[in-house]
Amino acid sequence: MTQIIPQPGIMDIALYVSGESRLPGHDDVLKLSSNENPLGCSDAARAAYAAAAADLHRYPSTDHIALRRAIGDVHGLDPDRIICGVGSDEVLQFVTHAFAGAGDEVITTEHGFSMYPILARMVGAVPVTVPEMDRRIDVDAILCAVTDRTRIVFIANPANPTGTMLTPDEVQRLVDGLPPHVLLVHDGAYTEFAAGADGGVSLVDRHPNVIMTRTFSKIHGLGGLRIGWGYAAGEIIDVLNRIRQPFNLSNAQMAAAEAAIRDTTFRDHCADLNARMRDRLRQSLIQMGIGCDESHANFVLARFIDPAEAEAADAALRADGILVRRVAGYGLPAALRITVGDEDGVTRVIDCLGLFMADRRG
């Protein structure tokens, strides 16, 4: 028997379940299980990645300055208050490591992104899950759960897997109600798909206890490369940089990300396509009798009558080579999360579920 004992909390972590990508017997699988960009990434990003192959023997910059400047230029932010990580997951991990520890409380919400409780447990903190209201984050429930031991509140806005969003006034009320020792993490992985959203910039600029995170994995189509970033007050960023490994991002990651963020034409094209296809998918689901809240992200949450119907719908989709996400682990056993595809992808989903529902409900 080993006497090498892991830190408290670690053995309570249930492994993260990612979207499936293979379906035996199908070679034209339509993967709509991980909220990836159906158009891939920008050509400029792909070219920058290829060009980086010439310098594989060189260590990357430790300060990510070129990428931080590019992010700053495009979003009108001070590069000194930006930190980059291996996906926004790594930035979320820096935050948790830096600001929560054994016995502290970390607030997440009922259907919140499953990495948040994992991160809390990783540092020995206690994840405190508060209820949502009809699949929307409930500001009052969060504020009621705050104690002297609370260190961090995680919200994704738009939220995954519900796709719902708090209004700027609701988020403001949340920040105003938090004591100054509590850090609000405003996770904006899906910000670009929410028309007019600033991802938390104005909050960060007014409140020293807010950090916003963003990713290159969704609208920029670089999920396979793993790049994300955060923006906060200089004091917070300084703390996070102290626990960041100096070479956390490779030259290839940074080159591709810099090209991607500067390609605003591609970004806007993707956002426009997503908005049109999301609307078409949602309206079709509703017409078929499948529940579907308005989504502000690049996926929709299809709600069936009960878990058995969701399972049967999933089986019908799989039989047609379509992979979507079961979200029972998010407290939504009667729902499926479906990434918004391109025109053909959305048509395949609508055709499949249309037949399924006609057969099922007559």
Name the site residues for ligand PLP (rule: CB under 6 A).
Answer: 35, 87-89, 113, 156, 160, 187, 189, 215, 217, 223, 228
Which CB sits closer to ligand PLP, 99 or 216? 216
Peptide bond into 168 cis (omega under 30): no
Q: CA 165, 89, 66, 98 torsion: positive or negative?
A: positive
Residue 164 CB, nearest approach to ligand PLP (Å): 12
Minimum CB separation of residue 89 from ligand PLP in Å reads 3
Contact 281, 237 (CB under 8 A): no
Nearer to ligand PLP, 35 or 274 (CB): 35
CB of 19 to ligand PLP, least distance (A): 9
Least separation, in Å, of the C-beta of 86 and ligand PLP? 8
Nearer to ligand PLP, 217 or 251 (CB): 217
- Closest CB to ligand PLP among 35 and 284? 35
Q: How far is the CB of 209 from ligand PLP (least distance, A)?
A: 20
Query: Considering beta carbons, is residue 109 or 215 the nearer one to ligand PLP?
Result: 215
The CB-of-48 to ligand PLP minimum distance in angstroms stands at 19
Which residue is nearest to ligand PLP, using beta carbons?
87
> Which C-beta is closer to ligand PLP: that of 72 or that of 161?
161
